[in-house]
Amino acid sequence: MSHHHSIRNLLNIKDKNITFDENFCAEELIKGVQSKVFYGQLTYQPKACYACGHVFDDQIIKHGFKTSLIKMPSVSGFHTYLKLRKQRYFCKHCHSTFTLKTSVVAKNCCISNNTKVSIALNAKDKISEKDIAIKHNVSHATVSRVIDSFYSYYQPNVHYLPKHLCFDEFKSVKSAAGAMSFIFCDSETGEIVDIVEDRRLHVLKEYFLRYSKKARDAVKTIVIDMYSPYISLIQEVFPKAEIVLDKFHILQLFSRALNKTRINVMNRDKKNYNKLKKYWKLLLKDQTKLDYKNYTYHRCFKKHMCEVEILHYLIDLDSELKASYELYQYVQHCIKIKDFELLKKTLENKQNIVSSYMKTAIKTINKYIKSIDRTTESSNPSAARNNRSLLALV
């Protein structure tokens, strides 16, 4: 096996017209970085002139070499280059010169095709474009161009939309126009339909109006969170769709209000400050799942207690906290049994005795009740997908 074949195999070069001298490799300082440089030569007889297309004959003669420094995939952790001397020819028929082509690199480019493939493959992993650029010794802009050339932009079918949709938002990238980006998916399958960079109303309206009226009229239900512009968007763009409020966001609204109530009591009651701070999770726990059998020693109380006893002690510290806790549990129960009418009655009966934070939550829900027909039977799958995405970016 010749050394030419071995070097081509090492660098994954398929072009057999490239040959290497005996002193084929050396270390050089390129742009301040110690790098491996391979020295090769490309020469073969072309079939015709690249300029005029005249078939090769004795009027097409060799005309020296053109040397190119080509970036290759790293070898042994070193930045690697191929310094390739490419044969040039002069055509007497059209009086023009041309340089031989190779499959190693594209015309007028100094980055090898293998490097571009490696960049595209890395883009499939959970790694930033900046890190890919550092790994392959190229610029961030080059990585973006390579990715764009390998992966065509997703174009949704504007004549079709799933019958049941879920709307949600997530924090994407700093370059996004709005504070949050918009994502929507099929609520039955959980499959993402598309992602929009900006969640603001005018942007979403312009986006969805691209879909045909037939496709928009076919949508039956849309699951949303507490972002009020979604209501206006749906009423205008999806006139036949029912608005469904995601139960996860209802619970989140009331749990935050209950937490604020607890913190308010905690800051006023210095004696029980540590107890309210340490056992905050018990207030948010479903009361049917509280442990009333197992007694363990709790340093804050200096005695053995079960979860139910601790909870009763905490809510008895303040009447507003107790009323707010009971309302939160009622809301949990109504959502659990999927009784929207009972939820509305519960909010009407309890709103005078709860904390100001809970009253704000009730006011928010009542604003949505005017437009919302029922609660969803299952959590928003796009919200769950959103959570997984955020964990990966952290």
The model's pLDDT over 313-370, given as tens digits with 9 standing for 90+, comes to 999 999 999 999 999 999 999 888 887 788 888 887 766 788 999 999 988 888 776 5
Does residue 158 fall inside a structural domain? no
Does residue 387 fall inside a structural domain? no
For residue 357, what pLDDT is reported?
92
Residue 101 predicted with pLDDT over 60: yes
Q: Same domain for 195 and 266?
A: no
Does residue 258 fall inside a structural domain? yes
For residue 283, what pLDDT is reported?
93
Q: pLDDT tens digit string along 131-143?
A: 999 999 899 999 9
Domain that holds residue 334: 248-375
Q: Which residue has the higher pLDDT, 318 or 388?
A: 318
Is this prediction's pTM over 0.85?
no
Q: Which residues contact 16 (CB under 8 A, 6 or more apart)?
A: 8
* CA-wise closest residue to 81 among 13, 132, 30: 30
Encoded tokens for 175: 């370059």
Q: How many CA atoms lie within 13 A of 234 on its CB side?
A: 27
- Is residue 272 within a helix (H) or strand (E), and if so which, with residue range? none
* CA-wise closest residue to 246 among 109, 84, 376: 376
Does residue 380 fall inside a structural domain? no
Q: Same domain for 140 and 220?
A: no
Q: Same domain for 220 and 254?
A: no
For residue 154, what pLDDT is reported?
67
- Residue that is last in its domain, among 194, 227, 246: 246
Residue 379 predicted with pLDDT over 60: no
For the chain, percent of residues with pLDDT exceeding 70: 90
113-122 helix and 129-136 helix, angle to the nearest 10 degrees: 150
Does residue 140 fall inside a structural domain? yes
Q: Same domain for 323 and 359?
A: yes
Q: pLDDT tens digit string along 205-223?
A: 999 999 999 999 999 999 8
Q: Same domain for 255 and 305?
A: yes
Residue keyed to tokens 């997703």: 154
How far is 276 from 313, CA to CA, in rounded Å?
10
Query: Which residues is 305 bridged to in the sheet?
Result: 296
CATH code of the domain containing 238 = 3.30.420.10
Domain count along the chain: 4
For residue 373, what pLDDT is reported?
44
Q: Same domain for 96 and 175?
A: no
Encoded tokens for 90: 């002069």
| CA end-to-end distance (rounded Å), the chain | 50
Q: How confident is the model over 255-277, as a mean pLDDT?
A: 94
**Confidence tier at 391 by pLDDT (50, 70, 90):** very low
Q: pLDDT tens digit string along 174-206?
A: 766 767 889 999 988 888 898 888 889 999 999
Q: How confident is the model over 373-391, as a mean pLDDT?
A: 42
Q: Same domain for 81 and 103?
A: yes
Which phi and psi (to 5°) does residue 256 adopt? -65, -40
Q: pLDDT tens digit string along 42-62?
A: 999 999 999 999 999 999 999
Neighbours of 80 (CB within 10 A): 22
Q: Same domain for 273 and 319?
A: yes
Q: Same domain for 235 and 278?
A: no
For residue 389, what pLDDT is reported?
28
In angstroms, the Cα distances linking 111 to 33, 127, 192, 260 are 17, 21, 35, 57
Q: Same domain for 267 and 306?
A: yes
**Confidence tier at 294 by pLDDT (50, 70, 90):** very high
Q: Which residue has the higher pLDDT, 163 or 342?
A: 163
- Residue that is last in its domain, among 190, 225, 246: 246
Does residue 224 fall inside a structural domain? yes
**Confidence tier at 172 by pLDDT (50, 70, 90):** confident
Q: How confident is the model over 8-17, as a mean pLDDT?
A: 87
Does residue 382 fall inside a structural domain? no
DSSP 100-125: ---TTB-TT--BBHHHHHHHHHHTTS
Q: Same domain for 233 and 344?
A: no
**Confidence tier at 64 by pLDDT (50, 70, 90):** very high
For residue 231, what pLDDT is reported?
87
For residue 380, what pLDDT is reported?
53
- Residue that is last in its domain, among 246, 270, 292: 246
Q: Same domain for 305 and 347?
A: yes
Most confident of 85-89, 246-250, 351-355: 85-89
Does residue 206 fall inside a structural domain? yes
For residue 387, what pLDDT is reported?
37
